[in-house]
Amino acid sequence: MSDKQSHTFEKPFVTEGGATIPDPTIAYQTWGDLNTERNNVILVCHALTGNTSADTWFEGLFGPNKALNPKEHFIICPNVLGSCYGSSGPTSINPKTEEPYRADFPNVTIRDIVRLQQQLLDELDISGIELVIGGSMGGMQALEWSVTDDRPQSAVLVGMGEKHRPWAIGISHTQRQAIYNDPNWNNGFYSEENPPKKGLALARMIAMNSYRHPSDFDKKFGRRLQDGQSQYEVESYLNYQGKKLIDRFDAVSYVRLTQAMDSHDIRRGRPRIQETLAALTIPIIVVGIDSDMLYPSKECKHLANLLPNGRYKEISSPHGHDAFLIEFGQLNSIVKSLQTELSEQSV
């Protein structure tokens, strides 16, 4: 059984950009129990449109003999700041207007997201984190955790690099332009009844093309037409993915979180980063995906080489970037090998 909760802080949260969010709230979900030392913790960081239900989207890593075992660990997955799944974000009520923030919700960075998570773990009196793990935007958070907090004892970062490169920023920009050009966008102050669904759906379709690999589409769809229709199967698939997202996600949240991903650069504003990284001696596995077009494996290898105790592992898959949510057998083996190593060292 998992436990869904949220916590609202009395102290306002100030973003890197200087904006103030009064009464910041963070939603989270937990599995398992804390030990007496309150350090048997695994922190799971979710990706762009993810939520706290890590046991659903990371299903293949949960359970007995798996990397995320609630019988052995206290597993926690917080919803990111700026999302629409319970944490403060564009759909939250702005106390100044008593209406949803919409575009008045400030820009946030990966570092802002992690700082609020750190406040949550402080509130829960968590003294140590055995492992912090995340893929894509989740990996960006896990890296920031490793750099800025002394609680993580190991980390697994999947499908991301030291910074968001121009290729990835360009794809994010294109997605945002799709949203901005929806007639219902209204500068981000759309009504509940008429959100920019077409723009958000198109943004998701653009993203889905970057999450997969051409050979995966060849095998999955070929040039087949949808039964009884004149459109290709791949067109039907992308339409379906777009519709599925608009039924569960908010457009300004999508904008703010893609902007947060663009902010990712472990060196940004850190003139003494070499000294910081030199002190980061915990074992960190950076996992690349051999077919990832969004975050090519060479970026993951480069990040692993920057870290004093970094190791590079690779998932072999035809599924592109999305492989971190598909190839659970390979990912589970990678994480378990790290856990076994740490367990043997502690004996």
User: Is there a single domain that holds both residue 132 and residue 56?
Assistant: yes
pLDDT value at 16 more than 80 = yes
Does residue 3 have a pLDDT over 80?
no
Q: Which of 213, 291, 321, 322 is catalytic?
A: 321
182 carries an active-site annotation: no
Which domain CATH number covers 250?
A: 1.10.1740.110
- Exposed, middle or buried by CB within 10 Å (0-12, 13-18, 19+), for 289? buried
Q: How confident is the model at residue 228 (pLDDT cuts 50, 70, 90)?
A: confident
Mean pLDDT, residues 99-115 taken together: 98
92 touches 82 (CB < 8 A) = no
Last residue in a domain, options 204, 234, 261:
261
133 bridge partner residues: 44, 156
Same domain, 177 and 280: no
Same domain? For 160 and 237 the reply is: no
Same domain, 12 and 94: yes
Q: How many domains does the chain have?
A: 2
136 belongs to the catalytic site: yes
pLDDT tens-digit readout, 288-315: 999 999 999 999 999 999 999 999 999 9
Q: Mark whether 178 and 307 lie in a shared domain.
A: no
Residue 178 above 70 pLDDT? yes
CA dihedral (85, 296, 154, 163) positive or negative: negative
User: Residues 209, 284, 255, CA angle at the centre, nearest 5°?
Assistant: 35
Specify the CATH number for the domain of residue 341. 3.40.50.1820
Question: For residue 344, what pLDDT is reported?
Answer: 85
At position 42, the amino acid (one-letter code) is I
Which residue in 83, 88, 136, 291 is the catalytic one? 136
Active-site residue, selected from the candidate residues 210, 292, 297, 317: 292
Q: Are residues 206 and 178 in the same domain?
A: yes
Characterise 182 by phi-psi region: left (phi > 0), alpha (psi -120 to 50), beta (else).
beta
Is a pLDDT exceeding 90 seen at residue 156?
yes
Residue 347's pLDDT band, with cuts at 50, 70 and 90, is low
Of 183, 211, 223, nearest in space to 325 by CA: 211
Residue 323: domain span: 2-164+265-346
Does 108 share its domain with 231? Answer: no
User: pLDDT, tens digit, for every residue of 197-211?
Assistant: 999 999 999 999 999
Asked about 292 being catalytic, the answer comes back as yes
Residues 303 and 173 in one domain: no
**Whether residues 249 and 271 fall in one domain:** no
